[in-house]
Structure 1
């Protein structure tokens, strides 16, 4: 019997599948300088972002995610994109940047990735 790859049956890009199955930036930063949460567990996805900022540079970023594969992959790639960025550079990251970095997303799953801008602003500027 032939074993099939998940990607053969998926509407998601290989990058979404890789990050969903093996996220790189999931976890907690115990000495985080900034923490923000977006989402509502009653309505769907919830993402918590932990940042360690030193001298206006994000030296580490991690996420905790409760959600669908796209939410997990989007949060993971966001945390990876943030590491090493200045605060100004981080605030320029747009939701489309996340989708593009994931190789595009199915139209019906875009809403699972549109938390990046609000999450960054909430974490850095304390905005909701």
Structure 2
């Protein structure tokens, strides 16, 4: 006898899972960043095409994960198009969840990962392309960015162990 309770997703989540918008690699991306969670295996790559005025012209994503992960990345790429990088930075995981019509609490991390990838991309754009952070980006990583680093750190630890012959 199974005690599993099925997750209830909103029609918006199911639609974006079945027909994701902006799915795929953006070959002329200005910046790319990833986020992932080793706990559940979800991984997101966000691609941004940013113009000279700091406006996001295009945003796409690649995802390996559940319906909520794909839907969160999909809706986020829609939300950021046409926004300045500062406006995009201000998007929260709660905003993404609200745009999806809600998520089961156990799936909130999917919105957090999507926003983490976005914030990592914006920070990377300013660090690597512009060579300095604007005052509205804090020196310390946001909560979403910290979670986004989980996979990167796990991969580095595994690589070190493999290199050491463990």
Same fold (TM over 0.5): yes
Count of residue pairs the alignment pairs up: 120
**Structure 1, unpaired ranges of 5+:** 1-8
Q: Deviations over 1:93-127 (max 9, x none)?
A: 00000000000111122122211332122101126
1:63 to 61, 68, 77: 61
Offset of residue 65 of structure 1: 0.4
Name the counterpart of 2:87.
89
Give structure 2 stretches of 5+ with no counterpart. Answer: 1-5, 125-140, 146-166
Q: 1:31 aligns with which of 28, 33, 41?
A: 28
- Name 1:117's counterpart in structure 2: 115
Which is helix-richer, 1 or 2? 2
Q: RMSD over aligned Cα, in angstroms?
A: 1.7
Secondary structure of 1:38's partner?
A: strand
Q: Which portions of structure 1, spanning 4 or more consecutive aligned residues, are displaced by more than 2 angstroms? A: 40-43
- Alignment match, 2:75: 77
Query: How far is 1:43 from its partner?
Result: 4.3
Asked whether the 8 Å contact 1:38–1:46 carries over to 2, the reply is: yes
Report the structure number with the largest CA radius of gyration. Answer: 2
Q: So what's the TM-score if we normalise by structure 1?
A: 0.86
- Alignment map for 1:12-51 (pairs within 5 Å): 12-40=9-37, 43-51=40-48
- 8 Å CA contact retained: 2:7, 2:104: no
